[in-house]
Structures are given as C-alpha cells and as structure tokens.
Chain A
Amino acid sequence: MAALLEVKNLKKYFPTNKGVVHAVDDVSFRLDAGKTMGVVGESGCGKSTLGRTIIHLQNSTDGQILFAGEDVTHVKGKELKKLRENMQIIFQDPYSSLNPRMSVHDTIVEPLILSGKFKGPALEKEADRLMDMVGIESRLRGAYPHEMDGGRRQRVGIGRALALNPKFIVCDEPVSALDVSIQAQVLNLLMDLQDEFNLTYMFVTHDLSVVRHISDSICVMYLGQLVETCDTKELFECQLHPYSKALLSAIPSTDIHHPTKRIVIKGEIISPIDPKPGCRFAARCPHACERCHQPQQLEEVTPGHYVACCRVRELNEAFSRT
C-alpha cells in the first residue's frame, strides 16, 4: 500500500538572536491512509512544529514532504490552496483558535465559501450537515465562542477542519484543554469521523494514555529528533530507547495496587539552540557513554520498530536478562 503521507529528513530551523533553534531536525516517517499516528514528547520537543510544517503553515528548512505520492514540499499559490483542502488542522486551544467575533455558522461556512464550491441554499445545507456531524445543536448556529463550553468550541474547530472533506488532519493537542468527561466525548467523535470518512490523523499530544487509545503507531520525539517509532501496542509493551522508557514510566498510574516502577531522569531538556551533534538525550540518560556524543541513526532494531540509540542492543539484552 502506498503511504498517504511520507516525510523524508524534514528540518525546520528558526533563526533567533541567540542562534539557530533546531525545532525539527531530520525527521522521517510514513503514514498510511486511514491510520492514526501519535506524536508524543514533552513541551519544546518540536511535535507541534512538525505538524505545522507538514501542512505548510510554515515553510520547511530542508527535506521532503510527499502527499499521495506527489512531492508537495515547495507548492505555492493555487496548488497550495488545493493541497489545503486535503490537509487540515485542529488546534489545541479552542479558546484562542476561533475568531471571537464570528458565530458558529460563520466559522464553519468560511472554508466552504473560500473553496467556491458552495453557494446559496447548498451552502446552508452543507453547514447544517457539518454541524450535525460534529454534534452541535442547530440552535447554536448563531452562538459566539464565548457563549459555549470548551467541548463545544472544540467541536466547532473540528467541523471547520472537516468542511472540505480533507484526507489528512493534524490534531494538535485537541483534547488537552478539556476535562476528562468532555475529553472522552471529543475523542469518540474523532474516532467515529475517522471510521466514516477514512481520515488519516497525525495526533500530536503529550498525554500518553490518550495516544495509546487513539493511535495505530507512535513517534516519540525528543528535542526535535525522532528517537523511537513503532506500533502503539509494541511501544507500550517494549520501549527500547532509554527516553521512551523514562517517559512511559513517569505517567502516574491509576492502578493503586500495582504502581509503576518509576525511572526518574535527572535534569531538564537542554537548549534546542545550536545543539551539539550526538544524542540529545545523553545529558539526562543514565546509560550515556562516549559513543553517544556522535550522531545517532534511526535504525530498525526489530521489524517495524525504529530506534535512534547506539546502545540499544546491548542495553536491551541486559534488560531482558534481568
């Protein structure tokens, strides 16, 4: 099966006064149609930047983006507009990503009008269909964002993203601003819509329990780099990169009788400005050695399981022995 989205050695650097921020550094992956890929990592690891660069909200610094087999890395103008119909984004904060002076109806029809495909009664009919699809009561069509709760606002954001039947959607922390009971409603909606329209999601989040629930595969990022990627099930059963192990063990478990054995890693994320070559996790890694200061390659350790750590084999042999 051909991948819907393929990213090759993608880089996004931001020049600043202090130096160049390596927000996304040499990230490659492929994503099949109808699947969900979770991107996890801590704040500042470049996961949002990766999503935004793929859908061309920012230009990439280097690398290649292939969408449905075509190279779309440098598309501009009309072609970009066409591409945008197929690539959409749902933003993290439903409070600041909706225009406070536009009603629900106006927000949802805006992409329809811009596409030029809908006019008059057809436009209204489509707006009603979209609102119904994302579960917003029709009495709210004239409501403004401040009159709605977070869950409904996020539904408006989803309706707007789906207006033009996109194939691929970047979900940038779509539920992290919501309470648990509302979060479950929105996650179910996203999963139902995926089944119905065969949508492909890139799900960016720091919440690993959400990612486990919704994703088919997972990319773990650390300071702009991909450190581990594989199937969701595989990652939760056997993480190979020391950072993934620490990250997963850090999640507070709700199982009070079997608390997780925690690996507390010392220190904090180093600066992403002009990082030294080599493993960026080395400064906090309990297993760091001399070789870790050389550039790390993502390699396939077991089928479909890619890890960027030079000590992965010896470390995991040691783990499996104990």
Chain B
Amino acid sequence: MENNMAKKDQRFLSVRDLVVEYRSEGKTVHAVNHVSFDLSKGKTLGLVGETGAGKTSIAKAILRILPDHSTQRAEGVVELDGEDMMALPEHEMQKLRGHKVSMIFQDPMTALNPVKTVADQIAEVVKLHNPVTRAESLERAKKMLEMVGISADRAGEYPHQFSGGMKQRVVIAMALACDPELLIADEPTTALDVTIQAQVLDMINKLKEELNTSMIMITHDLGVVAETCDTVAVTYAGQVIEYGSKEDIFDRPSHPYTVGLFKALPNMNKDADRLAPIDGLPPDPTNLPQGCSFSPRCPYATEECRLTPVDSREIAPGHFCRCIKAAAKATTQEV
C-alpha cells in the first residue's frame, strides 16, 4: 500500500506524446509535437519558451479547452492521479475543471466578467463544485479574497474598480477557491509591474506550500522560473527540447537553444558590452524543418541535424535533451 502511494506521488500528472494541430487558412499548424513530461505532487514544473512555442496550447490541451473550430487534432495521454483525462466524457471533465485542476489565465483584464461582482464570480465556481448555499459560497469567496490580500469589504465591487495587480489576484483567488490539486498558471505575472509581481509570486509560493498543490508555471521569464520551479521544460517550436531539474537547466544547459537563451539575456549581475542574440527566427509552425526544429538557427548544426528528426535522450539521470550533439558529448564524458 505504502509503495503504491509513493509511486502515485511520483507521477501525479503524466503527459505522453501530446500532439496539438490547428487548421488555419487551409494549412496545418503544428502547435504541439509529441510533448511528454511528468509532475510530482507538490512540485512545480516551469514551461519556458518564446511566443508561439506552444506553451499555452499544452496547457489548454491538458484542460481540454482548445478552441473547437480551429483545432484539427489533439491527441496523447494525459494522466492525472492515474486517470486518463483524454478519455473522460465532457461532463466528467467539467467536474474536474476549476475543482481538481484549475488555471490562472494570462490576462486578468479579459479573464474576468466585467458585469459581475468579483465575489459572485468566485462564488460561482464554489457553488458549481460543492453542495453549498449561495450564502456559504459567498462566504468562501470573501475568505479567498482575504487570502490573496484583498479586503472582504471590496467583495461587492466590479473588476473595473480594481487595479491590474488586484484583478490578477482575483483570478488567482478564483483558481484556488476549490483547493485544486493541480494549478496551471499561464504567465500569471507578465501583465504586472515588478513590485506587484513580487507580491503575487510570494503569494503563489506561500499558498502552494499550504495546500501542497502541484503547479505548471508557464512563462518566458527565466527569473520567474528560477524563483518558483523545481523542474523545467524548455519548449521550442512545439517540442520540449530540454527537460530536467532546475539545477540541470540553469547550471548545465545542454541544448544550443537553451544555452543561447541564457546568453541573449541581459544579466543583472554581470557587465557585458554586447549581448549574444540567437540569429534568425523561430520556424513557421505550418512548415517545420525536416530534422531538428532548431537546426536553421543552430551554430553547430550539421547535415544530419537538418535531415533526421531528433529524439529526446537522457544525457544525465533525469536530464533530457533533444540534440544529437549534446547526447554525444554526454556519452564521451561518461567514458
């Protein structure tokens, strides 16, 4: 029994071979291409990448909230607590969303309903998932607001009466109202100023500890990753190109893209005259390169990289990398 529990804990969420394709102007957009990762209970995974790398598509595919009209294909295995979420009927999925799994959306200005008071919006999700009266759900909403640092006196106000930082906290309160076991945060602080970002990150970290919530943190900010995550998946052109512990990624980045990303970043603690940008642009998702998707921009790319697709290989225990060069280097070092 105990053994069984430990095993379950190790893989609270398991995503295997996730594929998402959209249809746009007659072309197939390959947004997510065979993404796999695991997440343990109480841990945070950072999903890092630039615009269009497929981060949000991964999140939406897990929650099954991809837009119907443009999604052409959404396949793969998503297991939460041993349950295959992709196979659940929609009404079961609805019970899960906002309850066991919930999401903090990127833009608090558009994620809130402008014509409902904030307390009503939070109470709605509480009432939907729990057998409570309206008064009880409102009580819970007020408690949640106080937990995220908003006075309960303001519960009857509308979103436009709040500042950006406070709106984001309302969105967070809503996501946490039913004590979710998995929280997906899609760029929760990108729209906020740094001092407010610091407040929100502190709060998320504290709440996560209190409730032992597992989290997927989607961001393009490596600083946010450094402060909140345990494991990191670096995404590029819809693939996880490097995956490992925070220490693996920050101390021993192995994929040329990850290395380039760190070099392109102006460093707060070092003086450098020039930045080292990554030449070129991310590939067109309707027309991905035949081989490694980073090969057109990679300074080390060879004919082999351009022609053959690259699999993810374990270059050190728990540290995976989709690059033949990095894999080769790791083997020679071992020998």
Considering the complex, give the chain B residue whose CB is closest to the CB of A255: B269
Measuring CB to CB, which residues of chain A are less than 8 angstroms from any residue of chain B? 42-43, 149, 151, 179-185, 187-188, 191, 206, 208-210, 212-214, 233, 236, 246-247, 249-256, 259, 262, 264-266, 268-269
- Distance, CA A131 to CA B51, complexed state (A): 26
A49 to chain B, nearest CB (A): 16
Q: Is B198 touching A264 in the complex (CB atoms < 8 A)?
A: yes
Q: Is A256 touching B194 in the complex (CB atoms < 8 A)?
A: no
Given contacts A182-B277, A184-B277, A188-B274, contact A212 B266 (CB under 8 A): yes
Q: Is B220 touching A256 in the complex (CB atoms < 8 A)?
A: no
Q: Which of B50, B194, B199, B247 has the most CB of A within 10 A?
A: B194
Give which listed residue, A43, A151, A184, A252, contacts B226 with CB less than 8 A: A252
Give which listed residue, B197, B247, B264, contacts A250 with CB less than 8 A: B197
Interface size class of B (residues with CB under 8 A): 35 or more
- Distance, CA A108 to CA B163, complexed state (A): 39
Q: Is A246 touching B195 in the complex (CB atoms < 8 A)?
A: yes
**Which residues of chain B (232-289) have a CB below 8 Å from chain A?**
246-247, 250-251, 260-262, 264-269, 271-272, 274-279, 281
Residue B222 is within 8 A (CB to CB) of chain A in the complex: yes
- Distance, CA A236 to CA B199, complexed state (A): 22
Given contacts A42-B195, A256-B247, contact A180 B226 (CB under 8 A): no
Q: Which of B223, B250, B261 has the most CB of A within 10 A?
A: B223
Q: Is A209 touching B268 in the complex (CB atoms < 8 A)?
A: yes
Measuring CB to CB, which residues of chain B are less than 8 angstroms from any residue of chain A? 50-51, 163-166, 193-199, 201-202, 220-224, 226-227, 246-247, 250-251, 260-262, 264-269, 271-272, 274-279, 281
Give which listed residue, A183, A254, A265, contacts B195 with CB less than 8 A: A265
Q: Is A208 touching B268 in the complex (CB atoms < 8 A)?
A: yes
Q: Which residues of A contact B195 (CB under 8 A)?
A: 42, 246-247, 250, 264-265
List 20 A–B pairs whose Cβ atoms lie within 8 Å, in order of A's numbering. Answer: A43-B164, A43-B193, A180-B265, A182-B277, A182-B281, A184-B276, A185-B277, A208-B194, A209-B265, A210-B266, A212-B266, A213-B267, A251-B223, A252-B226, A254-B268, A256-B226, A256-B246, A256-B251, A264-B195, A264-B198
Give which listed residue, B163, B196, B262, B278, contacts A254 with CB less than 8 A: B262
Q: Which residues of A contact B272 (CB under 8 A)?
A: 213
Q: Which residues of B contact A254 (CB under 8 A)?
A: 222-223, 226, 250, 262, 265, 267-268
- Distance, CA A265 to CA B195, complexed state (A): 7
Q: Which residues of A contact B266 (CB under 8 A)?
A: 184, 187, 209-210, 212-214
Given contacts A253-B269, A254-B262, contact A181 B278 (CB under 8 A): yes
Q: Which residues of A contact B201 (CB under 8 A)?
A: 252
Q: Which of B163, B165, B227, B260 has the most CB of A within 10 A?
A: B227
Q: What are the 10 A-B residue pairs with the smallest beta carbon separation, nearest first?
A: A252-B223, A184-B277, A213-B266, A42-B193, A184-B275, A181-B278, A250-B198, A179-B50, A184-B264, A185-B277
Q: Which residues of A contact B261 (CB under 8 A)?
A: 180-181
Give which listed residue, B164, B202, B226, contacts A255 with CB less than 8 A: B226
- Distance, CA A213 to CA B198, complexed state (A): 22
- Distance, CA A83 to CA B247, complexed state (A): 53
A171 to chain B, nearest CB (A): 15
Q: Is B264 touching A183 in the complex (CB atoms < 8 A)?
A: yes
Q: Which residues of A contact B196 (CB under 8 A)?
A: 42, 268
Q: Which residues of A contact B197 (CB under 8 A)?
A: 250, 252
Give which listed residue, B220, B221, B246, B274, contacts A252 with CB less than 8 A: B221
Q: Is B227 touching A268 in the complex (CB atoms < 8 A)?
A: no
Q: Is B165 touching A268 in the complex (CB atoms < 8 A)?
A: yes
Q: Which of A184, A188, A214 has the most CB of B within 10 A?
A: A184
Contacts A250-B198, A252-B224 supplied; 5 other A-B pairs, CB < 8 Å: A180-B50, A187-B275, A252-B221, A253-B268, A264-B195
Considering the complex, give the chain B residue whose CB is closest to the CB of A150: B51
Considering the complex, give the chain A residue whose CB is closest to the CB of B219: A252
B168 to chain A, nearest CB (A): 11
A267 to chain B, nearest CB (A): 9
Q: Is A188 touching B198 in the complex (CB atoms < 8 A)?
A: no
Q: Is A259 touching B194 in the complex (CB atoms < 8 A)?
A: no
- Distance, CA A152 to CA B248, complexed state (A): 34
A284 to chain B, nearest CB (A): 8
B51 to chain A, nearest CB (A): 5
Q: Which residues of A contact B268 (CB under 8 A)?
A: 208-209, 212, 236, 251, 253-254
- Distance, CA A179 to CA B297, complexed state (A): 15
B202 to chain A, nearest CB (A): 6
Considering the complex, give the chain A residue whose CB is closest to the CB of B224: A252
B25 to chain A, nearest CB (A): 13
A46 to chain B, nearest CB (A): 14
- Distance, CA A266 to CA B196, complexed state (A): 9
B65 to chain A, nearest CB (A): 25
- Distance, CA A125 to CA B193, complexed state (A): 44
Given contacts A185-B277, A213-B272, A268-B165, contact A259 B226 (CB under 8 A): yes
B228 to chain A, nearest CB (A): 8
Considering the complex, give the chain B residue whose CB is closest to the CB of A177: B51
Q: Which residues of B contact A180 (CB under 8 A)?
A: 50, 220, 261, 264-265
Q: Is B226 touching A253 in the complex (CB atoms < 8 A)?
A: yes
Q: Which residues of B contact A182 (CB under 8 A)?
A: 277, 281
Considering the complex, give the chain B residue whose CB is closest to the CB of A243: B195
Q: Which residues of A contact B277 (CB under 8 A)?
A: 181-185, 188
A245 to chain B, nearest CB (A): 11
Q: Is B194 touching A181 in the complex (CB atoms < 8 A)?
A: no
